[in-house]
Amino acid sequence: MKTYQARWMVQVALSSLLWAASAADAQAQLCQPNMSDSPMPRRVFLSTQPKDGAAELYVAGGVATLLRLPVAADPVGTRLLGWEGRFEPLLLGGRSVVLVPLQNLAPEDRFMLLVTLADGRELPFTVTSSSARVDGQVDIYIDPESPEAVRTVLEEKRQEVRSLKAENHRQREEGTSVDHALAALLARNEVAMTPFIEDDKWLLSEEGLDVEVTVFVSKRKKAVNRKAAVVLKVTNKDAVRPWVLQEARLTTWATREQRPFALRTTPSPVAPGESARIAVVTDFASFDSGTGTDKLVLEIFRDGGHRQVYVELVPKERR
């Protein structure tokens, strides 16, 4: 299965209100670091049921994955089977075990890690890879009913409740937002029902994916509340893997301050051979900053953390 690492950098224009540099020059900048290789912390609660098997650890080439154990590890009894030529030698110190693959593992690769604790208990793990994540520090909990494990689970549940409350509040606000209503119409390709007109368009192609970037401006240039919009039509040409929008960001170019925007997409995820439209709407007040008029940067990230589209919205007076 192919993992996409391409990103596009595009500078786009908004008619008489915005100016754009050459998209052809921007298309040359395709190769960027793979953001999904950024290690993430994780907690693993080991099961007491033998049928559940060994817990999996997700690693990447040249990236250190740290196991943090409840008690010290026994260096003599801790070993990684078949590591020669594929991993650096294991690093052990106190309650820590460090894994560093020499190169990325294939999805079907499986290595058995047996960690022996100082008290004689043995903990088996399966070392493999995942396109969705790379483990950084992995905190291991042997007894799920221990006070420390219970406190950890309780805090995770509290965080989930806080996140759900914040999401419910956001959805209530979006339900009465004019910008979100406009973004929904653009996502459904009902441009005639909006105050926008199409200004410019680019088609960006890469193996497995096409992205059509369209910029919209307000029909009335002297409107009190002028708005700008960008619509991206994503066509998934991969035969197997769906395309999933992970995150969109709108920030100022100079200071990277976040700017408010409305986002709507349809459908999601994008099945192989299918297309989706991602619509972003913002006010022209978003261009104002403490240092004057600024450029805006729109970034689109797919699942796994890959930034695939970078759009600069440039005010005309900055050309």
pLDDT in tens, 199-221: 888 888 887 889 999 989 888 76
C-alpha to C-alpha distance for 164 and 186, rounded to whole angstroms = 27
Average pLDDT, the chain: 80
CB-based contact 260:180 (threshold 8 Å): no
Burial of 186 from C-beta contacts in 10 A (0-12 / 13-18 / 19+)? buried
Given a contact cutoff of 8 angstroms between Cβ atoms, the answer to whether 29 and 3 are in contact is no
Least-confidence region, from 2-11, 166-175, 268-277: 2-11
- pLDDT category at 26 given cuts 50, 70, 90 is very low
Give the mean pLDDT of 15-26: 36
| pLDDT for res 208 | 85
pLDDT level of residue 231 (50, 70, 90 thresholds):
very high
- Residue 118: its pLDDT value, please? 92
Average pLDDT over residues 148-177: 72
Measured distance CA(203)–CA(256) in Å, rounded: 26
Q: What is this structure's pTM? A: 0.53
CA distance 220 to 255: 30
Is the pLDDT score of 7 beyond 70? no
* Per-residue DSSP letter, 186: H
Alpha helices in the chain (DSSP H): 23-27, 147-174, 178-187
- Does the pLDDT of residue 293 top 60, yes or no? no
Model confidence at 167, pLDDT cuts 50, 70, 90, reads low
Lowest mean pLDDT among 32-41, 78-87, 146-155, 288-297: 32-41
pLDDT score of 217: 85
- pLDDT at position 48 is 66
The per-residue pLDDT for 228 is: 87
What residue spans in the chain does CATH classification 2.60.40.10 cover?
Answer: 8-35+177-318
Report the pLDDT value the prediction gives residue 13, as an integer from 0 to 100: 38
Q: Are strands 40-45 and 135-141 parallel, antiparallel or unpaired?
A: parallel
Average pLDDT over residues 97-105: 95
Decide if pLDDT at 120 tops 60. yes
Q: What is the pLDDT, as a whole number, of residue 4?
A: 31
Query: How much of the chain exceeds pLDDT 70, in percent?
Result: 77
Q: Which of 16-25, 89-98, 277-286, 301-310 is the least confident region?
A: 16-25
CATH topology for 8-35+177-318? Immunoglobulin-like (2.60.40)
Tell me the CATH architecture of domain 47-143: Sandwich (2.60)
Q: Whose CA is closest to 10, among 300, 318, 315? A: 300
Predicted local confidence at residue 254, as pLDDT:
78
